[in-house]
Amino acid sequence: MATCNVCISRVATVLILAMPACMSSNQAPPAPAATDAGGCAWPASLDAVAAAPRNHRVLLENDRVRVIEITVAPGEREPVHAHCMPSVGYVMYEGKYRDYDDQGKLLSEGKESLPESQFPMTIWIEPVAPHSYENVDTKPMHSLHIELKR
């Protein structure tokens, strides 16, 4: 088990060092900076792992990073949740989707799947305000987010 955590930690380090300085256009708009004592602008109950545990699984966590695996099955819509920390996203597959704000308003939509040859891709992600991602593709959405705690 320790070997597995070491491998994930090394992958996170490599991804952080190799990440592009850009943001994918298929994400919710950047959220405001974190403001509460816990370092988040939203209640802890909206943390992705707490609010949408079926879709967000912690693979590694320490005082520097939290690595979460995100999966959304075809036709599934996640519960409303937020991402308080900036992160590096390692997207293994993302197809057609809809992303909604916490009031159900459509924020963005990917109407076409990217060619599989473009995956995996590494992207920079600013904190994301409460939102709900819906996978309208025929394949599962699958990614890793390496959240930076400092």
Q: Express each pLDDT in 72-87 by its tens digit.
A: 999 999 999 999 999 9
The share of the chain scoring above pLDDT 70, in percent, equals 75
CATH no., domain 2-148: 2.60.120.10
What is the pLDDT, as a whole number, of residue 77?
Answer: 98
- 10 Å Cβ neighbour count for 135? 24
Q: What is the mean pLDDT of residues 102-120?
A: 96
pLDDT at 150: 82
Strand order across the 141-148 sheet:
56-61, 65-72, 141-148, 87-93, 121-125
User: For the chain, what is the largest distance between any 2 Cα atoms, rounded to a whole number of angstroms?
Assistant: 43
Share of the chain above pLDDT 90, in %: 72
